[in-house]
Amino acid sequence: MKYWEEAELRDLCASVGLAGFRRERDWRFIMFAATKPGVQAP
């Protein structure tokens, strides 16, 4: 099982061209969202 660090998730999103990285942390969990550039979020 892979446990991701916040910086790794941010780098992964950037490496595939996603923008607007947002996150919420809750103890052990990182909930995150990112958007594809040029697409409006609902």
d(CA 1, CA 19) in angstroms, rounded, equals 26
Domain count, the chain: 1
d(CA 33, CA 5) in angstroms, rounded, equals 15
Query: Would 26 be classed as within a structural domain?
Result: yes
Tokens of 12: 């992964």
**Burial (CB count <10 Å: 0-12, 13-18, 19+), residue 32:** middle
Query: Would 42 be classed as within a structural domain?
Result: no
- At 2-37, the pLDDT tens digits run 889 999 999 999 999 999 999 999 888 999 999 998
Query: Would 19 be classed as within a structural domain?
Result: yes
Residue 10, domain extent:
6-35
Query: Would 41 be classed as within a structural domain?
Result: no
pLDDT for res 42: 62
Query: Would 1 be classed as within a structural domain?
Result: no
pTM for this prediction? 0.74
Query: Would 22 be classed as within a structural domain?
Result: yes
Tokens of 4: 């991701």
